Copies of this chain bind each other. A is one copy, B any other.
């Protein structure tokens, strides 16, 4: 057997990552398994944040919330320890990035609440399975993301604009992509907009606010989905005294299957 071709399960990948020997991006690992965005906040802010997420389920689809102080996520993974099982974390103090460690055990506190938030990897897998090219994956770049003029519903200290990700598609594929992603409400669901970027405050589609620009062919239109960068952007705005997130691309690998998130 060729070791290069070995496909590991979610639990196996987490064990490998826990040793600190793997710090790379998680894209493509444990294929078919749900990967999630991670946000960890002190309890007081966490309550506001949870209400913000409930009010804005398209950009902030919460897959699971931990018990305060508990590093475990039993509904997401057997033996999953949120302090060690992601390849790379970001530790924030008063809105400043202070550290990018491979474990957060040394900064753990018993008032921390962890949020696993759905990620577009899950619906992109379903698009590709259906034969739809996802441009930034084909280009091997980051998905282009844009701040819009659509305000999120505020809750407590959290407020800010909806951030969207963009994938160019032909009209027929855009219609098919609406159908496919509508089945996945817990990982951003159907697009929020398509065509006409200026209507949602995007002035130059070739200049994303986050990620990389991708080519849009003459027979394609930009299709926009609510993006998991939205909660990260509103948290950054609040500058919480303490916060932990995943490092970009270095996601939480769960035991859930992407297909299990399909509502239909």
**Chain A residues in contact with chain B, CB under 8 A?**
170-172, 174-175, 178-179, 182, 190-196, 199, 219, 221, 264
Q: Which of B182, B193, B264 contacts A171 (CB 8 A)?
A: B193
Q: How far is the CA of A193 from the CA of B196 in the complex (A)?
A: 16
Nearest CB of B to A182, in Å:
5
When the two chains form their complex, are residues A195 and B171 in contact, meaning their CB atoms are under 8 A apart? yes
Q: How far is the CA of A170 from the CA of B192 in the complex (A)?
A: 11
Name 6 interchain pairs, CB-CB below 8 A, sorted by A.
A171-B199, A172-B193, A175-B191, A175-B192, A178-B178, A194-B194
Q: Taking the full assembly, how many copies of this chain does it contain? A: 2
Question: Main SS of the interface on chain A?
Answer: mixed
Contacts of A264 in B (CB 8 A): 264
Contacts of A191 in B (CB 8 A): 175
Q: How far is the CA of A192 from the CA of B173 in the complex (A)?
A: 9
Q: Which of B175, B179, B193 contacts A194 (CB 8 A)?
A: B175
* Closest B residue, CB atoms, query A193: B171
When the two chains form their complex, are residues B182 and A196 in contact, meaning their CB atoms are under 8 A apart? no
Q: How far is the CA of A195 from the CA of B196 in the complex (A)?
A: 10
* Closest B residue, CB atoms, query A174: B194
When the two chains form their complex, are residues B179 and A196 in contact, meaning their CB atoms are under 8 A apart? no
Q: How far is the CA of A224 from the CA of B196 in the complex (A)?
A: 17
Q: How far is the CA of A182 from the CA of B193 in the complex (A)?
A: 18
Nearest CB of B to A167, in Å:
14
Can you add 7 more A-B contacts, CB < 8 Å, to A171-B196, A171-B199, A178-B179? Answer: A171-B193, A171-B195, A172-B192, A178-B178, A194-B195, A195-B221, A196-B219
Contacts of A171 in B (CB 8 A): 193-196, 199
When the two chains form their complex, are residues A175 and B195 in contact, meaning their CB atoms are under 8 A apart? no
* Closest B residue, CB atoms, query A198: B219
Q: How far is the CA of A69 from the CA of B175 in the complex (A)?
A: 41
When the two chains form their complex, are residues A221 and B192 in contact, meaning their CB atoms are under 8 A apart? no
Contacts of A178 in B (CB 8 A): 175, 178-179, 182, 190
Nearest CB of B to A152, in Å:
16
Q: How far is the CA of A190 from the CA of B191 in the complex (A)?
A: 15
Q: How far is the CA of A51 from the CA of B74 in the complex (A)?
A: 54
Q: Which of B179, B182, B190, B195 contacts A195 (CB 8 A)?
A: B195
Nearest CB of B to A128, in Å:
20
Q: How far is the CA of A221 from the CA of B196 in the complex (A)?
A: 9
When the two chains form their complex, are residues A190 and B179 in contact, meaning their CB atoms are under 8 A apart? yes
* Closest B residue, CB atoms, query A197: B171
Nearest CB of B to A183, in Å:
10
Q: How far is the CA of A199 from the CA of B179 in the complex (A)?
A: 21
